[in-house]
A and B are shown apart, each in its own frame.
Chain A
């Protein structure tokens, strides 16, 4: 990388110097002055022209020299590029399953744009996609012979207007929350989706209301710190809203109200964590985004981002694998599974993974994990192989059991 940078610097310097252009200008100057001389004194024409020969030639030579310099600069730069990317060819096009599924990719991109809040780009993208599809349809109507089943997809493959509206709502709420410290739209949303949120075991609504309480306590819009008016407003808010939380969050509500008594020296009270939490707003915004996406069946982080980044991390390993396989002329034996382990950062592991300690295979729907009465877990196939239909000893402890007693578990 350093080499590339150095060569490029050198090359750019040469180019900004523009030696070639200067030489061209000097050639023009030579010709012009000769012309003027001849115009002034036609009798000297022959001598002037004869004298002109060599300087013009040499100035052309200097143009060529500067070109040569640029050329060698370019060559050096391309060598440094070659060196940087040596042994790193672009991955080959072999296992190309994705090209046939472009509509899924486009859908994922459109969703990604919506998630990022790039609504205008997403709108352009969707309309361009619709346009292209319309043209395709027309062409296919024209050439009615070609079969249209394969490529034609209906527009409902792409995120519907409903989803778009949902994300617009989300961004509106987040904007209000972050920029204006206005929690009311978020609270309203969490009330509208109360049942779904409760089933998920989410306490988003309470968190939002608690933050609203704290915000009022600190003086609402003015935020001049705890004051009498603020306390009053907070208390009123608590009376009005908190009774519905009482069965579930009795302790927390008691804490909030108990803090009232410590109002003058909240800093030293046991309640200071609730009232002076600098990351509270960011936390609430984050958990709001998560809940919102989860209710739509979506992950909180853009899957496209996670997948593309994981891909970039995985590529070097896969590339190495490819070269080794080519050198040894072997092929994958496991069709459904990558042949190598790919080191990903811990935040990229989402599911629990169970590898059978006997067969060293990952369990699947066809070969699920089974738990023996002693609490050890192995894959179903390993279990069958071990027991041969009768009582058998657990491979990890002395207890014996019958295969009938083993139970399927879900990770």
Chain B
């Protein structure tokens, strides 16, 4: 067990847990891109082939002047040229995505060549990963500017998805401001994929539009609202009958009603809810995790590092900022201390202490070798005395007592 406690083995395949979105996201984008190409081609095909046939038939039966035939051909050519232009754009986009994927695969591949966790190369790789996680966190929390700057400074633009998150944030923000247009447009672009979603974003958006119409209180708006409901809400009757009935009931209540559930339907907080729902749906569609990867990594890491001493009322002898012989534990460092307070601490089945522990009269335990060396270094201690590095008390060397830790 002790051997495993201090393992430096690196299992690269297992280590990629946090890096799934790195490959998944560009892949989803590539698929989406491909679908648009397919749709474009399909549309032109459905236009050009019948049109060509019609023109040919018409000129065979001689009820068309050559000029008309020429005009028809010109129309086809210009449509095909339009298709080509669009396809070229999409192709550029596609190439960019795949180039990005390639770089990311290379980045992950590099991890496979690192033999152990103690390797300097692993250290460097992990630093890049931390930068990626921080950028991810910043983007998700809407600190776009900082994220861009950091990605640029570190040269990891290909390893983070700036544009995707910027777009997501823009739509979420517009929803928070009470604007459904952008979000609905996004729904339109992702219609096929949304069918598989576990959230019903589009329905909620349409319902909100309906609520806004009713909120005005004008009679003619009520008619619009009912038409809107028939057109956009009714198709969902199978799954959302409850909500739809409530929406119908809403017509009878003014916006300042105190009656639930209508009060909460009118509430402005619904916009925040919609914004969150959009973000959730968006992340689901692109196989992104619902919480920032940094949070996942941190919550695991904080627990793995935390010991009962980290939030103890007594200063730990083995790791504190009061003496040079020890380095400060990251959990005890002010940056993470509060964050780790509610985390469980790591499980250990074996004691881990220096090989030559002694106890001082004040009850503090140190490694003898290290304590003597340190006391020698600190000039103000006379020979034959030792200084407790934590409390600063000075004792006789003979007061050190051997202690047995099993």
Contact with A along B35-50 (1 / 0, CB 8 A): 0011001000100110
B34, B322, B346: the one within 8 Å of A71 (CB)? B34
Instruction: Determine whether the beta carbon of A107 is less than 8 Å from that of B335.
Output: yes
Taking a contact as CB atoms under 8 Å apart, the answer to whether A307 and B53 are in contact is no
Give CA–CA (A246, B250) in the complex, Å.
88
Residue A269 CB within 8 A of the other chain: no
Q: Is B31 an interface residue (CB 8 A)?
A: yes
Say if the beta carbon of B76 comes within 8 Å of chain A. Answer: yes
How many B residues face the partner with a CB closer than 8 A?
A: 154
In chain A, positions 65-99 with a C-beta closer than 8 Å to chain B are 67, 70-71, 74, 77-78, 81, 84-85, 88, 90-91, 93, 95-99
Of residues 4 through 31 on chain A, the ones whose CB sits less than 8 Å from some CB of chain B are 4-5, 8, 11-12, 15-16, 18, 20-21, 24-25, 27-28, 31
Interchain nearest-CB distance for B335 vs A (Å) = 5
B319-360 CB contacts (< 8 Å) to partner A: 319, 321-325, 327-336, 338-339, 342-354, 359
* Least distance between B172 CB and chain A CB atoms (Å): 13
Does A56 lie within 8 Å of B48, measured CB to CB? yes
Segment at the A interface, from B10-18, B179-187, B224-232: B10-18
A108-B330 in contact (CB<8A)? no
Contact for B118 among A71, A309, A345, CB less than 8 A: A345
Docked CA distance A357–B406 (Å) = 6
Interface contacts (Cβ under 8 Å), in number, total 455
- Partner-binding segment picked from A175-183, A218-226, A255-263, A290-298: A290-298
Q: Are B66 and A300 in contact (CB under 8 A)?
A: no
Is A338 touching B347 in the complex (CB atoms < 8 A)? yes
Inter-subunit contact B118/A20 (CB<8 Å):
no
Asked whether, in the complex, the Cβ of B56 is within 8 Å of the Cβ of A200, the reply is: no
- Give every chain A residue within 8 A of B146 (Cβ-Cβ): 121, 124-125, 128
Residue interface bits B147-161, CB-to-A below 8 A is 1, else 0: 001100100000000
Contacts of B363 in A (CB 8 A): 371, 407-410
Q: Does B91 contact A (CB under 8 A)?
A: yes
Other-chain contact of A35, B73, B308, B402 (Cβ < 8 Å)? B73
Task: With A8-B101, A45-B59 as known contacts, state yes or no: A297 contacts B333, CB within 8 Å.
Answer: yes
> B78-86, B189-197, B207-215, B236-244: which one contacts chain A?
B78-86
- A409 lies within 8 A of B359 (CB): yes
Which residues 116-132 of B have a CB within 8 angstroms of A?
117-118, 126-127, 129-130
Verify B314–A132 contact, CB threshold 8 A: no
Instruction: Give A176-205 as 1s and 0s: 1 = Cβ < 8 Å from B's Cβ atoms.
Output: 000000000000000000000011111100
Question: Known contacts A15-B98, A304-B336, A319-B17; is A200 also within 8 Å of B324 by CB?
Answer: yes
User: Do A101 and B339 form a contact, CB below 8 Å, given A24-B80, A299-B333, A335-B344?
Assistant: yes
Q: Is there contact, CB below 8 Å, between B330 and A32?
A: no
Select one of A104, A109, A143 contacting B134, CB under 8 A. Answer: A109
B91-116: which residues lie under 8 A (CB-CB) from chain A? 91, 94-95, 98-99, 101-102, 105, 108-109, 112
Are B18 and A70 within 8 A (Cβ)?
no
Contact B312 A365 (CB under 8 A): yes
Is residue A150 contacting chain B, with contact meaning CB distance below 8 A? no
Q: Mark A301-331, 1 if CB is under 8 A from B, else 0.
A: 1011111111111111011000000000000
Q: Is A149 an interface residue (CB 8 A)?
A: no
Contact between B302 and A311, CB atoms less than 8 A apart: yes
Binds A, one of B22-30, B198-206, B252-260: B22-30
Residues on A with beta carbons closer than 8 Å to the beta carbon of B402: 375
Asked whether A8 lies within 8 Å of B102 as measured between CB atoms, the reply is yes
Chain A nearest CB from B149 CB (Å) reads: 5
A408 to B317, CA, bound (A): 13
Q: Which of B117, B308, B335 contacts A364 (CB 8 A)?
A: B308
Q: Could you give, for residues 212-236 of chain A, a 1 whenever the CB lies within 8 Å of some chain B CB and a 0 otherwise?
A: 0000000000000000000000000
Residue of B nearest to A346 (CB): B6
Q: Evaluate contact between A91 and B126: CB separation under 8 angstroms.
A: no
Please indicate the chain B residues that have their CB under 8 angstroms from the CB of A353 in the complex: 307, 348, 350-353
Contact A85 B16 (CB under 8 A): yes
Cα distance A86–B365 in the bound complex, in angstroms: 48
- Are the C-beta atoms of A307 and B406 separated by less than 8 Å? no
Check if A304 sits within 8 Å of B130, measured CB to CB: yes
Choose among B308, B316, B331 the residue that contacts A362 (Cβ–Cβ < 8 A). Answer: B308
Kindly list chain A residues whose C-beta atoms are within 8 Å of the C-beta of B352: 349, 352-353
**With A53-B53, A91-B296, A409-B359 known to touch, is A248 a contact of B379 (CB < 8 Å)?**
yes
With an 8 A cutoff between CB atoms, is A387 at the interface? no
Nearest chain B CB to A409 CB, angstrom units: 5
Q: Name the CB-closest residue of A to B403.
A: A375
Q: Are B69 and A312 in contact (CB under 8 A)?
A: no
A142 (CB) vs chain B CBs: closest residue: B268
Q: State in angstroms the CA–CA spacing of A173 and B34 once bound together.
A: 54
Report the separation of the CA atoms of residues A62 and B62 in the bound assembly, to the nearest whole angstrom: 32
For A235-277 the 0/1 string (1 means CB < 8 A from B) is: 0000000000001110000000000000000000000000000
Contacts of A35 in B (CB 8 A): 70, 73-74, 77
Shortest distance from the beta carbon of B292 to any chain A beta carbon, whole Å: 8
**A211 neighbours in B (Cβ, 8 Å):** none
Query: Could you say which residues of chain A place their CB within 8 Å of the CB of B12?
Result: 1
Q: How far is the CB of A141 from chain B (nearest CB, A)?
A: 14
Is B55 an interface residue when CB atoms closer than 8 A count as contact? Answer: yes
Q: Interface digits, B267-300 against A, CB 8 Å rule (1 contact, 0 not)?
A: 0100000000000000000000111001111111
Residues in A whose Cβ lies below 8 Å from that of B235? none
In whole angstroms, what is the CA distance A129 to B142 when docked?
9
C-alpha spacing A8/B97, complex, angstroms: 11
Determine if A249 and B328 form an interchain contact, defined as CB atoms under 8 angstroms apart: no
- Closest beta carbon of chain B to A145's beta carbon, Å: 10
Inter-chain contact A355/B48, CB cutoff 8 Å:
no
Q: For the complex, give the distance between the alpha carbons of A249 and B377 in Å.
A: 9
Q: From the candidates A21, A313, A316, A350, name the one contacting B330 in the complex (CB within 8 A).
A: A350
Asked whether, in the complex, the Cβ of A90 is within 8 Å of the Cβ of B344, the reply is no
Q: Which residues of A lie under 8 Å from residue B81 when comparing CB positions?
A: 28
- Measured CA separation A336–B73 after assembly (Å): 77
| B window 130-145: CB within 8 A of A | 130, 133-134, 137-138, 141-145
- Are A300 and B55 closer than 8 Å at their CB atoms? no
The yes or no answer to A343 lying at the interface (CB within 8 A) is yes
B298/A307 in contact, CB under 8 A: yes
Instruction: Please determine whether B299 and A365 come into contact, CB atoms closer than 8 angstroms.
Output: no
Q: Is B234 an interface residue (CB 8 A)?
A: no
Q: Is A402 an interface residue (CB 8 A)?
A: no
Given A63-B45, A311-B297, A343-B6, 6 further pairs, Cβ under 8 A: A1-B13, A1-B108, A31-B80, A49-B69, A50-B56, A71-B38
- 12 pairs from A and B in contact (CB 8 Å cutoff): A15-B91, A24-B84, A34-B73, A49-B55, A102-B141, A201-B377, A291-B324, A308-B298, A336-B344, A338-B303, A376-B406, A377-B404
User: Which 10 A-B pairs rank lowest in CB-CB distance, beginning with the nearest?
Assistant: A248-B379, A311-B301, A303-B330, A42-B66, A350-B329, A299-B328, A311-B297, A311-B300, A343-B7, A125-B146
